[in-house]
Amino acid sequence: MKKMILIMVVLFSIHNVYAFDALWQKAQELAENSWTLVPGLTTMHHKMNIGRRAQAGAEFEIVFSRSLGEDNQIAVELVSANYILIEPDGDFDEDDDFEIDPYELEAFEKEFGTIEIDESTIISSNDLDYDHGFDELIQKMVDHEIERGAIVPKREGVFFETNTRLLRVRRLNEQSEINGRMAQAFDIRYSTSGRRRDRVDGEVWLCIETGAPVLTVFSPARTPMFVRNISFRTYYDFLSDSNQFIAVHGAITTSASILGMRASLVVSMTYEEHWEFEF
């Protein structure tokens, strides 16, 4: 009898966590209607600091466009690339100006706290005029993004996973207003293979009214050697006219420590001018 009761409790828990949360089901339905949307313009802002007070580092800003190319494939083109180098005892050019995105600052400060950068350390900014040995690095970044970005949309991710051995969804007793929308928090554990090395843990915040995602925050269950933490943060907008949601901003924050030297990296992404890919 006790075993029977235990089995019933387990089944009831699985039933509630995975199958019958109405808000999560709304998000799944919206995802089915949204996954073919492609950002027509992507701006990537890389910000790297080395040392406890950012004694050295660099900032890169790369803009890509995505459009429908030949054979119904996505064509990716480089629109612009800029960088600022930060070195000790450098000279600052007042004409050099990178506007720091508020989403990037929020993500960075949540993970690592505030890092002060002395503007007197910034030494150069160039528009597609590479020097200081950074041309090869930037070109690799461009090539990687073009190769990765040319992939057609795929129906994959936490909103499409139905295997409860790969995805655990648990509603939290937590709500918050995010970008003007009241959102409900869900605790997520997701692995594409069922193995810990492929697992991410985090939270998904869904709009209470529509079920659309407002914010997702994930971190890998395992990090590479010397890496202290990694966080992936994505913000979404809801398109009420078409009943779809789109990613509008993302930020990847990373910190590492090697031989006593601390380093941090923030990759901030802004997505605009979405269009629908037709299969």
- Tens-place pLDDT, residues 73-121: 888 888 887 766 655 444 333 334 434 445 555 554 554 444 343 333 3
How confident is the model at residue 57, as a pLDDT? 67
What lies within 8 Å, CB to CB, of 273 at 6+ separation is 39, 40, 41
Residues of the chain with pLDDT > 70, as a percent, come to: 67
pLDDT tens, 18-40? 454 889 999 999 999 999 999 99
244 or 229: whose pLDDT is higher?
244
pLDDT at 66 over 50: yes
Please say if the pLDDT value at position 136 is more than 90. no
Residue range of the domain that includes 50: 2-276
The pLDDT of residue 78: 82
Residue 257 confidence (pLDDT): 74
Average pLDDT over residues 50-59: 60
**SS3 call for 181:** strand
Spatial strand order of the sheet with 227-239 comes to 122-127, 74-86, 56-68, 37-50, 261-276, 244-258, 227-239, 213-220, 199-207, 181-191, 167-178
- Residue 85: the pLDDT is 62
CA–CA distances in Å: residue 273 to residues 67, 76, 212, 276: 10, 14, 19, 10
Mean pLDDT check: name the lowest of 80-89, 99-108, 135-144, 252-261: 99-108
Output the six-digit token pair for 160. 């499409």
pLDDT of residue 216: 96
Question: Which pLDDT band, with edges at 50, 70 and 90, does 47 fall under?
Answer: confident
Q: What is the pLDDT of residues 163-221, one digit of tens each?
A: 888 999 999 999 999 999 999 999 999 998 888 888 999 999 999 999 999 999 999 88
Amino acid 35: pLDDT: 96
Mean pLDDT score of the chain, rounded to an integer?
76
Domain count, the chain: 1
Tell me: pLDDT of 13 over 60: no
Residue 44 scores a pLDDT above 80: yes
pLDDT for 126 beyond 60: no
Position 52 scores a pLDDT of 54
- Displacement of CA 249 from its chain's centroid (Å): 7
Q: Any idea what DSSP says for residue 128?
A: S
